[in-house]
Structure 1
Amino acid sequence: MPDPHETLLGILEAHFGIDRAEVNPSVPLTALELDSLARAELALILRDRLGVALTEEDLPEGATVRNVLDLLAARMEEAEALRAGGA
C-alpha cells in the first residue's frame, strides 16, 4: 500500500510547486495557496494515485494537511477491508 504522506508531499511538490519544507500537518491547504480549484485537482490526483475517492466536501477551505492525511488513511483502510472481505 502506498504511503499517503509521501504521496501527498510528492503531489504538492510536483503538481503545485510547494516545497516539502513548507508543509507540516497543521498548515491549512489555503495557506499553501490551494484554492477550491486546486483542492479539487488535488482530490483527482489522489484518487488516481491512491485509488481513494475524495469530494470537494472532503477538502473544505479550512482543511489542514493532517485532515487530508487522516481522511486518506481512513479511506485506504476502508478499501483494504472491503478487498479483504471480498477475497
Structure 2
Amino acid sequence: MRDRPGDANDRPFQAHAAARARQEAGQRQIEALERQLGELRTQFSTELGRTRDQVSIAQERASATERRALREIDQPECRAGARGNCALS
C-alpha cells in the first residue's frame, strides 16, 4: 500500500518547512529591529550633541553674568553705595 501525499509520512517535512518559515520570518524581524535600533542610536547621539551644545552655551552665559556681577561689586563706586554710577560691562 502506497502512502498518499499529505499523509503521516509528509508531516515531518511539513513541520520542518513550517519551522524554517518561522525561523526566516524571525530573522527578518531581527534584522528590521537592528536597523531601527541603529536609527534610534543615531537620533539619540544627535540629540545628545545638541543638548551638550545648549548646556555649554548656558554655562558660558552664566559665567559671563557672574563675571559682570563680580566686576560690578569690585568697582569703587558700587562699594560706596552709589548704585547709579555702577557700569555693567
Same fold, TM-score > 0.5, yes or no: no
Of structures 1 and 2, the one scoring higher in RCO (CA 8 A, sep 6+) is 1
Larger-gyration structure (1/2): 2
Query: Which structure shows the bigger proportion of residues in helix conformation?
Result: 2
In the superposition, the TM-score normalised over structure 1's length comes to: 0.29
